[in-house]
């Protein structure tokens, strides 16, 4: 398994019921279950991993930039270190790893996906070490790299079970419906801002439960809504699903505002989109589209193929939207052929990772 590179491409996902707030920091365990739709390869991360005894250290390169794994204050670095340690222990090996990752997110959109990256990384590590573990176990590795990342291990509609055990053994993601169940569901991403967020989701997961007085209500509401969302999807009831999706997004941004100091992700353009989608739905006399916002001002509009043009028309009338991306449901991660590897002799020489 050593000295061979494995490359995985994984895609982003958009949560219908969102993860906000962790009950266990070390293990990245959420207060509530979440449900998401995996996106297609328009929004993906590709990660190559190679383990070798001739490497003198672990090295991570994202979009051509070397990341400092020893930077103590970087949580991402420590999550990655932990994922590597865990995998090495399972494999009974000491070899160091070279990890090279690239996002294909259209440049200038400000979109980046920790979810796609975490899923690709976790799978590539497991492949590279030939670990005989099932998807549930891989899910737990990905979860610890980035919570939303465990959902990107599957295609279609996915649920991340919050679990109840203290050790996180029952907190993993699984597929609810594959892409063929309701292929009409799509996501139109309205790019509103390209600047990065002031408060990372990781900080928010800690700050909100600790300071928001409204947060106590959220886990119970979200858990119940997740069950309703599952039923709405099973019945292909878009009208109901859309209301659940919009209200969960609003609920998240309400507890963000109620945090102290307040966390504000939405801006005037985001709000204009919210109003416009409500107006569109009113004109139809039923919900044909749903907005949902993650930790940022960019809007994801969930709709069906049938109403794509109507939603695009609505979005085109709003000032301040830079561009609109389109994504169908994605099938989940896949292993790429050796020819597609991001690691080659030249990259290795360039890194100076060899011992000798």
Q: How far is the CB of 116 from ligand DP6 (least distance, A)?
A: 11
Residue whose CB is less far from ligand DP6, 110 or 147: 147
Nearer to ligand DP6, 6 or 19 (CB): 19
- Least spacing, CB of residue 309 vs ligand DP6, in Å: 28
Q: Which helix (H) or strand (E) holds 24?
A: strand 22-24
Nearer to ligand DP6, 114 or 303 (CB): 114
In order of 142, 176, 185, 192, 288, the CA distances from 284 in angstroms are 41, 29, 18, 25, 7
In the complex with ligand DP6, which residue's Cβ is closer, 14 or 276?
14
Look up residue 39 and give its DSSP letter: B
Q: How far is the CB of 205 from ligand DP6 (least distance, A)?
A: 6
Q: Which is nearer to ligand DP6, 78 or 344 (CB)?
A: 78
Binding site for ligand DP6 (CB under 6 A): 15, 18-20, 28, 34, 114, 146-148, 201-202, 205, 294-295
Token representation of residue 83: 């994922």
DSSP 223-291: HHHHHHHHHHHHTT-HHHHHHHHHHHHHHHHHHHHTSSS------HHHHHHHHHHHHHHHHHTS--EEE
Compute the distance between CA of residue 66 and CA of residue 69 in angstroms, rounded to an integer: 9
Distances (CA, A) of 273 to 264, 269, 279, 300, 320: 16, 6, 10, 10, 10
In this complex, which beta carbon is closest to ligand DP6, that of residue 15 or of residue 280?
Answer: 15
CB of 317 to ligand DP6, least distance (A): 27
Question: Which structure tokens are listed for 343?
Answer: 């690691």
Taking the complex as a whole, how short is the minimal distance between the CB of residue 28 and ligand DP6, in angstroms? Answer: 5
Rounded CA separation 263/258 (Å) = 8
Provide the minimum distance between the beta carbon of 316 and ligand DP6 in the complex, in angstroms, as a whole number: 26
């Amino acid at each position: 398994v050593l000295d061979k590179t494995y490359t995985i491409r994984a895609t982003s996902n958009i949560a219908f019921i969102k993860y906000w707030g962790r009950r266990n920091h070390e293990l990245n365990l959420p207060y509530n279950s979440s449900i998401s739709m995996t996106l297609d390869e328009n929004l993906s991360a590709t990660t190559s991993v190679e383990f070798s005894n001739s490497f003198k250290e672990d090295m991570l390169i994202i979009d051509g930039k070397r990341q400092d794994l020893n930077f103590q204050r970087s949580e991402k670095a420590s999550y990655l270190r932990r994922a590597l340690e865990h995998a090495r222990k399972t494999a009974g090996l000491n070899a160091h790893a070279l990890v090279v990752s690239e996002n294909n997110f259209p440049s200038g959109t400000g979109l980046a996906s920790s979810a796609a990256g975490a899923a690709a990384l976790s799978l590539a590590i497991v492949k590279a070490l030939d670990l005989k573990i099932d998807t549930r176990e891989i899910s737990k590795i990905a979860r610890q790299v980035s919570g939303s990342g465990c959902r990107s291990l599957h295609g279609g509609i996915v649920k991340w079970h919050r679990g109840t055990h203290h050790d996180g053994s029952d907190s993993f993601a699984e597929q609810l419906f594959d892409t063929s169940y309701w292929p009409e569901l799509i996501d139109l991403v309205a790019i509103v801002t390209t600047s990065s967020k002031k408060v990372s989701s990781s900080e928010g997961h800690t700050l909100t439960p600790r300071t928001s007085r409204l947060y106590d209500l959220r886990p119970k509401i979200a858990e119940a809504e997740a069950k309703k969302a599952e039923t709405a999807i099973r019945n292909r009831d878009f009208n109901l699903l859309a209301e659940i999706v919009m209200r969960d997004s609003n609920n998240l941004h309400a507890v963000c505002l109620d945090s102290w100091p307040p966390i504000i992700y939405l801006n005037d353009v985001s709000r204009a989109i919210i109003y416009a989608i409500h107006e569109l739905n009113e004109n139809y006399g039923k919900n044909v589209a749903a907005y949902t916002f993650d930790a940022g001002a960019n809007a994801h509009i969930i709709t069906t193929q049938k109403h794509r043009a109507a939603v695009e028309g609505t979005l085109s009338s709003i000032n301040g939207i830079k561009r609109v991306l389109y994504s169908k449901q994605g099938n989940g991660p896949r292993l790429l052929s050796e020819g597609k590897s991001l690691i080659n002799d030249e990259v290795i020489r360039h890194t100076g990772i060899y011992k000798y």
